[in-house]
Amino acid sequence: MSQTSTEQGIKTMGVVGAGQMGAGIAQVAAAAGLSVVVTDVADAALERGRKAIGDSLARLVKKEALTQAAADAALARLSWSTDARAHAACDFVVEAATENEALKRKIFIELDGVCRPEVLLASNTSSISITRLAAATKRPERFIGMHFMNPVPLMKLVELIRGIATTDETYAATKALAEQLGKTTTVSKDYPGFIANRILMPMINEAFYALMEGVGSAEDIDTTMKLGTNQPMGPLTLADFIGLDTCLAILRVLHDGLGDSKYRPCPLLVQYVDAGWHGKKAGRGVYRYG
Ligand code: NAD
Q: What percent of the chain has pLDDT over 90?
A: 96
Q: 255 catalytic, yes or no? A: no
Closest residue to atom 15 of ligand 1, CA basis: 97
Per residue in 108-118, is it b (16+ CB within 10 Å) or e — as a string?
Answer: beebbebbeee
Q: How confident is the model at residue 9 (pLDDT cuts 50, 70, 90)?
A: confident
CA–CA–CA angle 52, 94, 37 (5° rounding)? 60
- Between the CA of 215 and the centroid of ligand 1 the distance, in Å, is 32
Model pLDDT for residues 36-71, shown as the tens digit of each residue: 999 999 999 999 999 999 999 999 999 999 999 999
Output the average pLDDT for the chain: 96
Supply the pLDDT for residue 290: 84
Does residue 24's CB lie within 6 angstroms of at least one atom of ligand 1? no
Q: 159 catalytic, yes or no? A: yes
Closest residue to atom 30 of ligand 1, CA basis: 96
For the cut 70, the answer to whether the pLDDT of residue 104 exceeds it is yes
**Which structural domains are found in the chain, ordered by start?**
5-188 (3.40.50.720), 198-281 (1.10.1040.50)
- Within 10 Å of residue 267's Cβ, how many Cβ atoms? 11
What is the Cα–Cα distance from 82 to 85, expressed in whole angstroms?
9
Q: How confident is the model at residue 8 (pLDDT cuts 50, 70, 90)?
A: low
- Helix-strand-coil split of the chain, %, nearest 5: 50, 15, 35
- Within 10 Å of residue 223's Cβ, how many Cβ atoms? 14
What is the Cα–Cα distance from 4 to 19, expressed in whole angstroms?
28
DSSP-derived 3-state class of residue 94: strand
Supply the pLDDT for residue 93: 98
Cβ-in-10-Å burial (0-12, 13-18, 19+) of 256 comes to: exposed
Q: 56 catalytic, yes or no? A: no
- Between the CA of 174 and the centroid of ligand 1 the distance, in Å, is 20
Q: How far is CA 102 from the centre of its chain?
A: 17
Backbone Cα Rg of the chain: 19
- Between the CA of 43 and the centroid of ligand 1 the distance, in Å, is 15
What is the Cα–Cα distance from 204 to 147, expressed in whole angstroms?
19
What is the Cα–Cα distance from 36 to 48, expressed in whole angstroms?
16
For the cut 80, the answer to whether the pLDDT of residue 2 exceeds it is no
Model pLDDT for residues 205-252, shown as the tens digit of each residue: 999 999 999 999 999 999 999 999 999 999 999 999 999 999 999 999
Model pLDDT for residues 247-287, shown as the tens digit of each residue: 999 999 999 999 999 999 999 999 999 999 999 999 999 99
Q: 150 catalytic, yes or no? A: no
DSSP annotation of 137: S
Give CA separation, 277 vs 109, 249, 280, in Å. 31, 14, 9
For the cut 90, the answer to whether the pLDDT of residue 1 exceeds it is no
Model pLDDT for residues 137-176, shown as the tens digit of each residue: 999 999 999 999 999 999 999 999 999 999 999 999 999 9
Give CA separation, 176 vs 22, 74, 148, 153, 185, in Å. 19, 20, 14, 18, 9
For the cut 70, the answer to whether the pLDDT of residue 6 exceeds it is no
Catalytic annotation, pick one of 147, 169, 205, 278: 147
Model pTM score: 0.93
Alpha carbons within 13 A on the beta-carbon side of 158: 29
Catalytic annotation, pick one of 95, 99, 141, 159: 159
